[in-house]
Amino acid sequence: MRVRHEDRDWIFVSDAHFTGRERGEMESFIRFVELERQRTGHVFILGDFFEFLFGFKKTVRRRSFPFKEYLPVLEHLRELNRDGVRMTYVEGNHDFCLDGFFSEYFGMHVEVDPEGREESIGGRRAYIAHGDLSNPKQQLHRIFRRFLKNRWSYGVIQWAGPRLARNVARKLSEISYQKSHENALRGPPPAFRAFAHNKFMEGFDVVILGHSHFPEEAEEWIDGRRCLYFNVGDWALRRSFLRFTPPDRFRLERFEEKTGE
């Protein structure tokens, strides 16, 4: 029995950091997609799904797809999209200039948001973002983000081309991992819950983030409203994701593949 589209689950996933070199990680995600195919109505990617993703435009000298190693995952997402699954991609700090990218190369309709977005989920007002701007004390990161995420920098990256841009991105990723990801493995940073609380005070009922690489959930009651915060964690290490099942059920889960007897 097929589930009506409006009754299908929403899947929120973040921080896979696919490079294309670890084929097992991509194959695991593809198996997850296939298992969820019949019950999924909306896929929400909360950024950093690939180690580096830039919306390079097709030009006379550049017609081929610039991220061929990502194709196994992207082609499966395209199949989901063709089946009517709604797709939203919120850019993280490894994603740049993606508006129009998926339609140009894959004919996919993907809603792209460079910052964060408001969404109605089960009739509740939700704020959804990657989460790298959750900590107001990380001024250096905010400055560096503004330096990278603007039309002038995008023009330079487009001119430089995929090979040079990816080499630079790889070096920056190594620095980023050493400075932040290793510390994050110690526990969920408290700044994310504080950020969610501020959003609740603005009137949001649900806040969904990624970036921390730690699956986490919390509940607050504010003026009689039940407010929920979720961090979807990461696909790269924990295979964690958030599932919303209409009309009102949220739950953090992990994809655990069954091994042979």
Structure confidence at residue 215 as a pLDDT band (50, 70, 90) = very high
Residue 65 resides in a domain: yes
* Angle in degrees, 0-180, between the axes of helices 23-36 and 71-82, rounded to the nearest 10: 10
Q: Are 252 and 242 in contact (CB under 8 A)?
A: yes
Query: Which domain CATH number covers 233?
Result: 3.60.21.10
Query: pLDDT value at position 61?
Result: 57
Beta bridge partners of 85: none
Query: pLDDT value at position 228?
Result: 98
Query: pLDDT value at position 246?
Result: 96
Residue 242 resides in a domain: yes
Query: pLDDT value at position 105?
Result: 93
Cα dihedral sign, 89-91-95-96: positive
| More confident call, 124 vs 147 | 124
Helix (H) or strand (E) holding 35: helix 23-36
Token code pair at residue 13: 């996933």
Query: What secondary structure, in 3-state letters, does 45-90 show?
Result: ECCCCECCEECCCCCCCCCCCCCHHHHHHHHHHHHHHHCCCEEEEE
Beta bridge partners of 243: 11, 251
| Tens digits of residue pLDDT in 16-65 | 999 888 778 899 999 999 999 999 999 999 999 999 999 998 874 556 78
Spatial neighbors of 44 by CB under 8 A, at least 6 apart, are 10, 11, 12, 13, 88, 90, 128, 208
Domains of the chain: total? 1
Residue 90 resides in a domain: yes
* Angle in degrees, 0-180, between the axes of helices 151-160 and 162-176, rounded to the nearest 10: 120
Helix spans in 92-190 (H): 101-106, 139-148, 151-160, 162-176, 182-184
Residue 185 resides in a domain: yes
Query: pLDDT value at position 191?
Result: 94
Map tokens 């296939």 to a residue: 34
In this predicted structure, the answer to whether residue 98 has a pLDDT above a threshold of 90 is yes
| More confident call, 171 vs 56 | 56
| More confident call, 168 vs 106 | 106
Residue 145 sits in which domain range? 5-254
Residue 261 resides in a domain: no
Mean of the pLDDT values across residues 128-149?
90
Structure confidence at residue 164 as a pLDDT band (50, 70, 90) = confident
Residue 259 resides in a domain: no
Residue 260 resides in a domain: no
Mean of the pLDDT values across residues 80-87?
96
Structure confidence at residue 177 as a pLDDT band (50, 70, 90) = low
CB count within 10 Å of CB 249 equals 10
Please calculate the CA angle 207-117-32 and round it to the nearest 5 degrees: 70
Query: pLDDT value at position 21?
Result: 81
Query: pLDDT value at position 259?
Result: 57
**What is the percent of the chain with per-residue pLDDT over 70, rounded to a whole number?**
89
In this predicted structure, the answer to whether residue 1 has a pLDDT above a threshold of 80 is no
Mean of the pLDDT values across residues 93-122?
95
Q: Is 179 exposed, middle or buried (0-12, 13-18, 19+ CB in 10 A)?
A: exposed
Q: Are 93 and 116 in contact (CB under 8 A)?
A: no
